[in-house]
Amino acid sequence: MSTAAAEHALGRTGPEETAARARGLTKAYGSGETAVLALDSVDVDIARGRFTAVMGPSGSGKSTLMHCLAGLDSVSAGQVWLGDTEITGLKERELTRLRRDRIGFMFQSFNLIPTLNAAENITLPMDIAGQKPDEKWLNQVIDQLGLRDRLKHRPAQLSGGQQQRVACARALASRPELIFADEPTGNLDSRAGLEVLGFLRDAVDELGQTVVMVTHDPGAAAHADLVLFLGDGRIVDEMARPTADAVLERMKRFDTIRGTAEAPEASGTSEASGIPEVSGTPERDTGPDRKSVPGQGIAPDRD
Ligand SMILES: Nc1ncnc2c1ncn2[C@@H]1O[C@H](COP(=O)(O)OP(=O)(O)OP(=O)(O)O)[C@@H](O)[C@H]1O
């Protein structure tokens, strides 16, 4: 299914306003009897300068879609473009460079380097690329995220919310064409989660960025301009200008179809906030390696 209807609803036209798109995107894992069709001929347009959320039941293909759009995973069939660049068929080295130069990533587990302070973590992808940050932009991002007085702190000296803000600043630092956020509030309490969602919203509204966020949480999805619903590897629905209640209602229909009582709250979200409540220390990267950004397939050029 195409997202043309929602594009129309949001007043967008033209391919030049598409930050990423896929046509006939198919991804199968394994072969023979054990093969899993994670994505089944998906057509999707990600609008530039908009905040898109991707929702769906567990196993519906959300992460696979994000990984294929970001060039982190190969496709079995179909085509994917980042802007005007077709990324399907690019060699791994070209993909590494494309991810590093044109995409920002945020993950549930923050993926900060523990031995680097906040400022160093923020500029790490650019340092790896040998690029100088645009100081004006960087300062704007740091102030927008309220990190000015935390720049010398290492991740262990920061709260979970502050760590995710550093990860957000790192994703924004190079002013990428597209930011992918995979459950960015999954390790945060409700207040810190709302704060991070507010920053992603501001990144779109005030800094003109494009954000794609995978989430299980209707409350988080309600911060987006558009929600894409995945079911069994297909985009089965979309919702412009979502509210948490409307998203929750739509998610319940998946449960009805599946004939289970499992509601989105079952994945650990609190009904009041819709944001997962997690105690304990979030998973952190432990490697002191300055030469790569964990989880993002970002590394220096080898030529
Ligand atoms: N590396 C892999 N090898 C085999 N099967 C995989 C692999 N990665 C994902 N899958 C399968 O592909 C399907 C889609 O997985 P995916 O992780 O994209 O779903 P999801 O919607 O992100 O799920 P969740 O909400 O639980 O994170 C699932 O059936 C999953 O088991």
**Residues 120-146: pLDDT tens digits?**
999 998 998 888 999 999 998 899 889
In the sheet that holds 211-214, the strands lie side by side as 103-107, 178-182, 211-214, 51-55, 226-231, 234-240
Question: In this structure, which residue's CA is closest to atom 26 in ligand 1?
Answer: 58
- For residues 114 and 285, the answer to whether their CB atoms sit within 8 Å is yes
pLDDT of residue 193: 87
pLDDT of residue 109: 87
254 has a pLDDT exceeding 60 = yes
CA distance 287 to 297: 15
Q: State which of 37, 42, 63, 74 you would mutate to test the pocket of ligand 1, scoring each by most atoms of that ligand within 8 A of its C-beta.
A: 63
- Residue of 120, 116, 223, 95 lying closest to 170 (CA atoms): 120
Mean pLDDT of 251-268: 61
Query: Tokens 């949480």 — which residue?
Result: 217
All domains in the chain, ordered by first residue = 47-64+89-267 (3.40.50.300)
CA distance 66 to 82: 12
Ligand 1 atom nearest the C-alpha of 214 is: 22
Instruction: Classify the complex by whether its ipTM is higher than 0.90, answering yes or no.
Output: yes
Ligand 1 atom nearest the C-alpha of 216 is: 25
**Residue 38: partners with Cβ closer than 8 Å, 6 or more residues away:** 27, 28, 29, 61, 64, 233
pLDDT of residue 16: 59
Residue-wise pLDDT for 14-59, tens only, equals 555 899 999 999 999 998 888 899 999 999 999 999 999 999 999 9
Arithmetic mean of pLDDT over the chain: 83
How distant, in Å, are the alpha carbons of 83, 152, 166, 179, 241 from that of 118?
30, 6, 6, 19, 34
- Quick one: pLDDT band at residue 292, thresholds 50, 70, 90? low
Residue-wise pLDDT for 225-245, tens only, equals 999 999 999 999 999 999 999
- For residues 94 and 266, the answer to whether their CB atoms sit within 8 Å is no
Does the beta carbon of 30 lie inside 6 Å of ligand 1? yes
pTM: 0.82
Does the beta carbon of 268 lie inside 6 Å of ligand 1? no
Helix pair 118-129, 135-144: axis angle to 10 deg: 150
Question: In this structure, which residue's CA is closest to atom 31 in ligand 1?
Answer: 59
N- to C-terminal Cα separation, the chain: 41
Mean pLDDT of 82-107: 92
pLDDT of residue 18: 94
Question: In this structure, which residue's CA is closest to atom 27 in ligand 1?
Answer: 58
pLDDT of residue 196: 87
- How open is the CA angle 197-212-297, to the nearest 5 degrees? 110
Query: Tokens 């952190």 — which residue?
Result: 284
Does the beta carbon of 219 lie inside 6 Å of ligand 1? no
CA distance 98 to 120: 21
Does the beta carbon of 74 lie inside 6 Å of ligand 1? no
